[in-house]
Structure 1
């Protein structure tokens, strides 16, 4: 890249703010940012970004626009809604959605943008908020090859693993399956932790021993060791209601593919029960409390 690109970022929440900060600090282009909350805008201005007053202002200033939004309705509204990116965008502009979103919405947005000569890529992220801060995310991209090569240097500021999964929508397919498997694993680990302790095994010894065998997993090393063991379930991490949304999207995908997912349905029911008990905003491994009978 001989010239710096005009970049935009919309959605500066739990993951969006650190992702945007890493892209801004990488000095790959001038960054214009927008969010409904003032705090992240002020912090990113201090990092060198420019504050926009609206989605339309970002659309008119940037060549590549990144989105990190709560879910499908927000993505659809920002791209296709009144005063959105489609309405204010221009030919050749690239929209990169880093949210977790239904596959159907990703492909609907791509088709609408394509009619105006605009380009869409889905690029949802995996791993934790700390990974977003550290720039060590895994990003799964659905796009054509040329678009993937264009956006990869910018994604590299936020991730150590960037995978081109195929055409539009395939990044979301892989991300939804990733989250479905993760949530199912956390439910199973919460059950194992509770059963083992009540059967007389020290929970820390149980976890350390499981991590040395075939039960080892990312979920055990992170969600169990860093959340369940210390009983640390903060608000502002990947909350129960967000996890419920993601597994619901995964089950929609399964239904569209003609596949039933009993394990996915059970995990979704556990998350819904956890939310109903008042833990909707807390880090989703809090479902341990329901399995222990505290909910």
Structure 2
């Protein structure tokens, strides 16, 4: 798989993270960058002032791009874009490589990879971590699941959008690491929410609490970012990462835990806390709003009752 001058890049999904990632690729890549989103307005919002070319469909991306990057909501969308009736492999010309920057189930990533391989298309899962601001700076952390030879081909392109690019293992391993990363963030946010409310009710101002803990072993990325920027001012905007997205990722984590025989009790508690957040006025709003559930003594949603002895 060799390129005479450099690969043309296709990019599908220009949302909160995909838009700035594609913009960085369009600004830094020497060859064509062709972009598509189901919302025509997303192209103008993300790529105004760049050399990016607008595609009218997924099929057009397949016809024009050598390597296609995806930034999509989840596994069903990735499967449809890669393998659907009007997807990347439905026409005569197919891209040589598909790189999925989305967060999906591990089993789904491995299934898509196997089905694409049968169509002579290579696949890597490369989910991204850090914030929207990091995406705008091109400063993401990217966790890649791919064989070494494929990783070597795509790593220079991933460096357009990430300052840390880590090969985690074979296909699916990028998703394993990303899901663990996200679960730790969600669990830490939930724990910090409880302690911020506890500290305030015990007489310590929340800002003072964060300042003091940040100087000790309780410091964390969540404290310095979600704690200071969202939970302290109680600002939970729309169009950020909502509890519904948290629940999607935690669902993937718990699915993987069940498949591997791990009793992930903390992840399940977090799931129930964020279910309460989504169901009590913070649907669609930034997920650190879980602190409002603690402050109002709402949730977490109760765990399912165990079946009586001798049943199930």
TM-score (normalizing by structure 2): 0.91
Question: How far, CA to CA, are the matches of 2:26 and 2:56 in structure 1?
Answer: 18
Superposed, which structure 2 residues align to 1:79-118 within 5 Å? 79-88=82-91, 90=93, 93-118=96-121
Q: Which has the larger radius of gyration?
A: 2
Q: 1:12 aligns with which of 8, 11, 14?
A: 14
Q: Is the 8 A contact 2:58 2:81 kept in 1?
A: yes
CA contact (8 A) 1:90 1:116 kept: no
Q: Which residue of 1 aligns with 2:190?
A: 187
Q: Give the corresponding residue for 1:291.
A: 294
1:193–1:203 CA contact under 8 A, matched in 2: yes
Question: Residues 91-170 of structure 1: matches in 2 within 5 Å?
Answer: 93-170=96-173
Contact 1:210/1:216, CA 8 A, preserved across alignment? yes
2:8 is paired with a residue of what secondary structure? Answer: strand
Match of 1:27 in 2: 29
Task: Give 2:258's aligned residue.
Answer: 255
CA distance in 2, matches of 1:125, 1:89: 31
SS at match of 2:218: coil
The reply to whether residue 268 of structure 1 matches residue 271 of structure 2 is yes
**Cα distance in 1 between the residues matched to 2:204 and 2:31:** 54
SS in 1 for 2:152: helix
Aligned match of 1:212: 215
Q: CA deviation at 1:91?
A: 6.3
1:294/1:12 CA distance change after superposition, 3 Å: farther
Aligned partner (choices 47, 68, 72) of residue 69 of structure 1: 72
- Residues 217/155 of structure 1: CA separation in 2 closer, same or farther (3 Å cut): same
Q: Matches of 2:42 and 2:49 in 1, distance apart?
A: 10
Residues in 1 aligned to 2:220 and 2:260: alpha-carbon distance in whole angstroms: 27
- SS of corresponding position for 2:89: helix
2:301 matched residue in structure 1 = none
2:289 aligned with 1:281: no
Alpha carbons of structure 1 residues 45 and 273: separation in structure 2 relative to 1, 3 Å = same
**Quick one: which of 168, 180, 188 aligns to 1:177?**
180
Normalising by structure 1, report the TM-score: 0.97
Cα shift at 1:92: 6.5
Q: Which runs of 5+ in 1 are unaligned?
A: none
Tell me, in whole angstroms, the C-alpha distance in 2 between the residues paired with 1:266 and 1:28: 47
**Do the aligned residues in 2 keep the contact of 1:45 with 1:51 (CA within 8 Å)?**
no
Can you give the 5+ residue segments of structure 2 that lack an aligned partner in the other structure? 299-312
Backbone CA RMSD of aligned residues: 1.4
Provide the secondary structure at the position in 2 that maps to 1:85. coil
Aligned residue pairs, count: 295
The whole-number CA distance in structure 1 between the counterparts of 2:115 and 2:263 is 31
